[in-house]
Homo-oligomer: A and B are copies of this chain.
Amino acid sequence: MDVDSWTPPPVLVAVDLVIFTLRAGRLQVLLVQRGVEPFAGARALPGGFLSHAQEDLAAAAERELAEEAGLAAGELHLEQLGVYGTPGRDPRGRVISVAYLAIAPRLPEPVPGTDAADAWWVPVEVALSEQTTLAFDHRQIIADGVERARSKLEYSALATAFCAPMFTIVELQEVYEAVWGVRLDPRNFYRKVQSVDGFIVPAGPVRKNDNGRPARLFRAGPRQALYPPMTRPPAPADQPLTTRLHAPADKVRNEHEH
């Protein structure tokens, strides 16, 4: 920035999406299969390059959300996750990727992908495991997304973004259990979540079950920042919490007991 004749190096900007939802009681992420080099055949996060020089980053994220996942941006939570710009992360040249985190309520089974050859919901512990070959630095991006979601469940109302507009308290609890990878006491959860003012508000009457007492329905309340926060059990030591996802929820609890 000192010499006047010098010009900064131009860089290509990609936007990638970490789209989470809850399916079968597990936290799942949307992955596509790359059809072209580099990393042809590997799994990757949906995303793409900025379409033109004047496109806003968030707008590009919304466009990719529609193109690659058939999701309308208005219906879901979307926030910036971070920038990934290590030189060499893309063999084609200098590409930095702006990652966005999207949270979607459970969607109809097939993902109506238009661009990508194929797209699937993959449980995060599968996506992060060795058995999945991920393009670029997408494993790191997913891991960061998991960590972001976990910590935001504590002190924000993000959990409601995983739910349909109306939901039961048990459904909300399932969000916490799946994302944190723990089991929570339904009775304490019930009391706790209702005591946080403005987190959820009663809506409609009840929802019938196949069997058992119908559950009351709620909507997301106005409060974004939760006070007091939802507390998650302490991490065993100081390592990244990502490791805990690999263990089944039932076992996680035992890790604390010695």
Query: Which residues of A are in contact with B by a Cβ distance under 8 Å?
Result: 1-2, 8-14, 48-57, 80, 82-83, 85-87, 93-94, 96, 98, 115, 151, 154-155, 198, 222-225, 227-228, 231, 234-235, 238
CB pair A1–B48 under 8 Å, yes or no, is yes
| Highest count of chain B CB atoms <10 Å: which of A8, A56, A155, A223 | A8
Question: Which of B12, B115, B235, B238 is A8 in contact with, Cβ under 8 Å?
Answer: B12
Q: How many protomers of this protein does the assembly include?
A: 2
A213: min CB distance to chain B, Å: 34
Q: Is the CB–CB distance between A10 and B8 below 8 Å?
A: no
Interface CB pairs A-B, < 8 A, 19: A1-B48, A1-B115, A8-B12, A8-B13, A9-B51, A11-B13, A11-B50, A13-B96, A54-B87, A55-B87, A57-B83, A57-B86, A80-B82, A80-B83, A83-B83, A83-B98, A85-B98, A198-B238, A225-B238
Identify the interface centre among A85, A96, A223: most chain B CB within 10 Å of its CB.
A85
A210: min CB distance to chain B, Å = 38
Contacts of A12 in B (CB 8 A): 8, 10-11
